[in-house]
Amino acid sequence: MAMDPLIQNIEIVLSLFYLVWIYGWAKKNLGSPKLAILFAVIVVYLTFFQFPQLIWIPVLIFIFAVFGKGFFEKFNIYKK
């Protein structure tokens, strides 16, 4: 079944965004830019190109983190 070109392009853009994000994190934690790019490429390839449906999970987590704070504040689950 063919994918919609718009969805395909969005997935490519999200993959590139995740690649840069993981590279920045790995460079800070690993210390070596060459090792960080290798790590980022391997993680993005194994995760998002092998299983393209997983590309939407970080988007959902981001949306929940931004808009879900008020939801949990109403229930006071973190306050004693």
Q: Specify if 80 maps to a domain.
A: no
Please count the structural domains in the chain: 1
- Rounded CA separation 55/41 (Å): 15
Q: Specify if 32 maps to a domain.
A: yes
Full residue range of the structural domain in which residue 21 is found: 5-75
Beta carbons of 33 and 27 less than 8 angstroms apart:
yes
Phi, psi (degrees; rounded to nearest 5) at 2: -80, 145
Q: Specify if 44 maps to a domain.
A: yes
State pTM to two decimals.
Answer: 0.70
- Taking only the tens place, the pLDDT of each residue in 16-74 is 999 999 999 999 999 889 999 999 999 999 888 888 888 888 888 888 877 776 766 66
Handedness of CA 62, 8, 53, 15 (dihedral sign): negative
Nearest to 26 by CA among 18, 57, 61: 18
